[in-house]
Amino acid sequence: MTTARGLVKVKICGLNDRRGLDAALDAGAAYVGFVFYRRSPRFVDLDQAAALVARVPRPVIAVGLFVDPTDADITMVTDRVGLGMLQLHGNEAPERVDEIKRRTGLPAMKVLGVASAGDVHRARAYEDRADMLMFDARPPPGATRPGGNAVAFDWKLVRSYTGPVPWMLAGGLTRDNVATAIAQSGATIVDVSSGVESNPGVKSPAKIRAFLAAVAAARLG
């Protein structure tokens, strides 16, 4: 997926069946995500996750999404599922991110909800703790989960982030807007979940392939 400034990578999140996973892998996703948050329609149980992650070849990274997990929550998953990275999508403090990394020996990505420039600046507190950041839209009022709400934000805001930590862009991305999102944000990694679904929690192989193709055709602004 070449662009004016190199490679734009894609993470397909919320995978919970073989058809969706195989479409993501065949189309060239660099990251595949599995949700271990029970309130999400994309929740995947341990048996499902273990079987799916076993199909993920190197160098594709299998990412486990957690929301304010306890140590027991994480251990229950990592003892059964061969994850390559943890995605922390709750209110985890920088110190908690560091603790989770030390306990698991896995790299961790911290998700930050964005509605203003101040939200982007919060990333500085995580620069010595997280291995990667994700800038996602803040959940709308009344939302029952912190992400996967098909909500976008002003992508130009993240251009103000100049820290040393690599980051992903998420929030309301689809095949129709991802090129604009890349151009406005400067993102070199994008994450999609609801934008490649036929129904909440049901991944569409055709939409996955179309999204990857749209990223391949995008150009950084």
pLDDT digits (tens, 9 = 90+) for 99-119: 999 999 999 999 999 999 999
Task: Identify the pLDDT of residue 4.
Answer: 39
Domain ranges within the chain, ordered by starting residue: 2-217
Tokens for 133, please give them. 């950041």
Q: Are 12 and 208 in contact (CB under 8 A)?
A: yes
Does the domain at residues 2-217 carry the CATH identifier 3.20.20.70? yes
Percent above pLDDT 90 for the chain? 88
Task: Identify the pLDDT of residue 1.
Answer: 37
Does residue 55 surpass a pLDDT of 60?
yes
- In this prediction, residue 7 has a pLDDT band, given cuts at 50, 70 and 90, of confident
Does residue 220 surpass a pLDDT of 90?
no
State the average pLDDT over residues 145-161: 79
Catalytic amino acids?
13, 136
